[in-house]
Amino acid sequence: MSGVAMQVLLRNPLADPYILGVSGGAAVGALSAILLGASSFLLVNAAFAGAIVSTLIVFGISNQFGNWSVIRLLLTGVVVSAGWGALLNLLLTTSPSSTVRSMLFWLMGDLSQSRVYLGHFLLITLGLVGGLKISRSLNVLSRGELISLSLGINLNLLRLILYFSASLFTAVAVTIAGSVGFVGLVTPHMLRMLGARDHRVLIPASALLGGSFVIIADSLARTVIAPQQLPVGVLTAIIGVPSFLIILHSSSTKR
């Protein structure tokens, strides 16, 4: 769902939930907690705090002079992401070898110690209901800003809703599963190529397909070379890349 929101907000097919630095902030918080030997509870809270801090930094800088624009937001997010990347490299290179493996596992996605609570179900339910409520506005926004303004859509309010909701959902997902890449970028495109372009269908379908995709990848990660476990992010890329290319090829052939 965050991938859908970011792609509509930035009007960029290459946008994913991590493009504005949310995962970078979460990763710095999580790796710092791992380096300090914190418990899993503190690790989750540190990752969530890092994601929220990154969200506020990007929004604060991009909206510093009241000049709210997609280009300014995107550029700020890319620069902040680069800064988080430098801090991650610093943490990895200065950490003892005994903790580097757990850090790399978290960075590539790890569901082995994930815990899901009632609040998570309430949040995704709120996201689905809210997404369906604004789905008509998203359909219009995907056709261009001029059309949206001519039809009376409050673009500033809609952008704020998309940015903060996508950042919140990404922050929660990263704290649960680590930085599992590729899902938020490719899942919405797969569904669009299969004909689900209406956001009233695309939003719930993305949640279902994305969740199923991660479950399949996690199951394979635990069984392919058992008793060893692979990072989930590796399997999502191995499964997602050829699947995406096959769908892209078939849709081009039909056209």
Model pLDDT, residue 202 = 94
Domain coordinates of the chain in residue numbers?
A: 2-254
Of 37-51, 63-77, 131-145, the range with the highest mean pLDDT is 131-145
Contact by Cβ (8 Å): 1, 131: yes
| CATH number corresponding to 2-254 | 1.10.3470.10
Among 131-135, 199-203, 231-235, name the one with the lowest average pLDDT.
Answer: 231-235
Would you place residue 148 in the very low, low, confident or very high pLDDT band (cuts 50, 70, 90)?
confident
Is the model's pLDDT at 254 over the cut of 70?
A: no
Confidence band of 136 (pLDDT split at 50, 70, 90): very high
pLDDT at position 66: 63
Read off the pTM. 0.83
Our measurement of the distance from residue 4's CA atom to the centroid of its chain's CA atoms, rounded to an integer in Å, reads: 10
Q: Which two tokens stand for residue 241?
A: 């890349």
Q: Calculate the CA 70 to chain-centre distance.
A: 18
> Could you tell me which of 235, 210, 238 has the C-alpha nearest to residue 223?
235
Q: What is the pLDDT of residues 225-241, one digit of tens each?
A: 878 888 888 888 888 77
Q: What is the mean pLDDT of the chain?
A: 86
- Residues 58-112 have pLDDT tens digits of 988 888 766 677 788 888 888 999 999 999 999 888 888 878 877 887 888 878 7
Asked if residue 197 lies in contact with residue 143, where contact means CB atoms within 8 angstroms, the answer is no
pLDDT over 80 (residue 39): no
